Amino acid sequence: SQQGEEDPQALSIQEGENATMNCSYKTSINNLQWYRQNSGRGLVHLILIRSNEREKHSGRLRVTLDTSKKSSSLLITASRAADTASYFCATDAKSNYQLIWGAGTKLIIKP
Amino acid sequence: ETGVTQTPRHLVMGMTNKKSLKCEQHLGHNAMYWYKQSAKKPLELMFVYSLEERVENNSVPSRFSPECPNSSHLFLHLHTLQPEDSALYLCASSQETSRAKNIQYFGAGTRLSVL
């Protein structure tokens, strides 16, 4: 069954504002990853956070992980038009080769 | 460039045609994947190959036939497809270890339309 679920499904904000997306999952994990997909293209890895980490930064990205609530958030600060894309979280299923993907959050940055 | 190249980028085919999608990775990875992405649905994993051996087949119809001749190349052979098979088909690769799932690198995808 599908594990990762992003919230909200769609988000539209003004350029310069911060964007926050959330991901919930159902079973224990080794790590959680966030990916970005520009329209009609492949996914690009943004950041990986391990189960023993609580927060991680990469440039304008900040990811948090709360294993007690089985949730993660992705914060993009000072958003730019180029951040317009869909964002997906993916968790590992410990017993096989699969990453479990959510349906994604579609982020639109208005200039 | 992600190091994963997919061809063709766009494909239109009739239900009686036979075509193949190609994926090549230049990253030295040991695992390759085919995914199907339909509108407003999560990514669907179709097949996984690890060291040229198929390790996952997620109940994919037999009209999709994967082939992995070596660790750098992956094909998806298509025949007698249905209109509902129209989607973006994504190839990915990763360097897998026994400890945890690692980062996947994706190609740009093949947009398939079945008429």
Question: What local confidence, expressed as pLDDT, does residue A2 receive?
Answer: 38
- pLDDT tens-digit readout, B60-98: 999 999 999 998 999 999 999 999 999 999 999 998 766
What is the average pLDDT across B17-39? 94
- The pLDDT assigned to A3 comes to 54
Q: Residue A43: its pLDDT value, please?
A: 95
**Is the Cβ pair A40, B111 closer than 8 Å?**
yes
pLDDT of residue B87: 96
B6-34: b (≥16 Cβ within 10 Å) or e: beeeebebeeeeebebbbbbeeebebbbb
- Which residues in chain B have their CB less than 8 angstroms from residue A43's CB? 43, 90, 92, 104, 106
Inter-chain touch B101–A45, beta carbons under 8 Å: no
Contact B101 A4 (CB under 8 A): no
How high is the pLDDT of residue A4?
A: 67
Q: Which of A28, A41, A96, A100 to mutate to test the interface with B (most CBs of B within 10 A)?
A: A41
Structure tokens at B15: 């239900």
Contacts of A23 in chain B (CB under 8 A): none
Structure tokens at B101: 């799932």
Residues A32/A72, Cβ–Cβ less than 8 Å: yes
Q: Give pLDDT tens digits along chain A (111 positions).
A: 335 678 888 999 999 999 999 999 988 888 999 999 998 889 999 999 999 999 999 999 999 999 999 999 999 999 999 999 999 999 986 656 678 888 899 999 999
**C-alpha dihedral (A72, B34, A98, B107), degrees to nearest 10:** -40
Tens of pLDDT, residues B31-69: 999 999 998 788 899 998 987 677 777 789 999 999 999
